[in-house]
Amino acid sequence: MRVLICTDGSPAAEAAATFVSRLSFPPDTELTLLGVSETDGDQVHLTSSFERIERTLDGAHTGIQRKIGYGNAAENIQKETEENSYDLVVLGERGHQRGFVGWKTGSTVNKLARTLTIPFLVARNVPPRLRKILLCTGAEAPSLDTVRVGGRLISTAKAEIILLHVMSQVAMRLDSPPDDLLDTAQSAIQRGTREGQHLKQAVKLFGQVGVTGAVTPCLRHGLVVDEVLAELAEGQYDLLVIGGHYHHGKSHWAEFLLEDIAGQLIHRAPCSVLIV
């Protein structure tokens, strides 16, 4: 496991490192700290930030590497991930619906969501303990990649995991059984509907990637963004995991819809967001 933690020297970036510690990655995880310097004076500021982050991670990992880039943050992060192999990129944000401190990261996050081909974590409102995680699935084949990769990254977190699928309130076909619009996760699984089969398969897949804690499937009906945000508010989650990267073979229209949903959730979720 190789993780890139990005810092602009702000407390938000250091809180992101704290969130990494909450994920309880194995001790042999390789950590790289990337600071982006816009001016020469930033280097001293970044060095101090590196030291505070290393103290946060002290004892959990060995051999933390430091790197400093110059210029635009998003471009530096993209370049670093292209030149080196990472499993996760981590950035910190203050609050929600706000940009990164010093980086104008509304644009930084948006650009990385479109260009990064690896998972990245937007950390905000970091809790004292990671208790509850919401992972969203679209009940289609690419969503199993979200379950597989996301499940592997959160498998060591020792948190309760809720697996959510949102169904439309409107029947997709004229011959759709009316019961589909009333299903809970449990009834969908029992009746063997398409959504139920997917949820059952996804729960099984969690076990295959190393998740040892309880995974509870959940089915909600309505608009995807509205229902995910409602679930986050009602369930008081510490982390949201969503699929947000382009998959080869997906139509441009499907890509646009995925990007729009992911973009809204990234900026409106009150908790940290892991984009797979």
Average pLDDT of span 74-93: 94
**pLDDT over 50 (residue 103):** no
Q: Single out the residue of 74, 90, 111, 92 nearest to residue 9, CA to CA.
A: 92
Distance, CA of 145 to CA of 174 (rounded, Å): 30
CATH number of the domain within which 17 lies: 3.40.50.620
Domain termination residue (choose one: 92, 123, 154): 123
- For the segment 10-23, what is each residue's pLDDT rounded down to a tens digit? 888 889 999 999 99
Residues whose CB is less than 8 angstroms from the CB of residue 116 and which lie 6 or more positions away in sequence, other chains included: 77, 78, 81, 89, 245
Q: How many domains does the chain have?
A: 2
Is residue 161 pLDDT above 90, yes or no? yes
> Domain range spanning residue 183?
132-275
CA-to-CA distance for 55 and 275, rounded, in angstroms? 27
pLDDT at 76 > cutoff 60: yes
**Mean pLDDT of the region 48-62:** 80
- 117 and 139, same domain (yes or no): no
**103 & 196 share domain:** no
Distance CA 25, CA 130 (A): 13
Please give the pLDDT value at position 162: 98
Average pLDDT of the chain, as a whole number: 84
Q: CA–CA separation, 196 vs 190, rounded Å?
A: 7
Give mean pLDDT, residues 133-148. Answer: 89
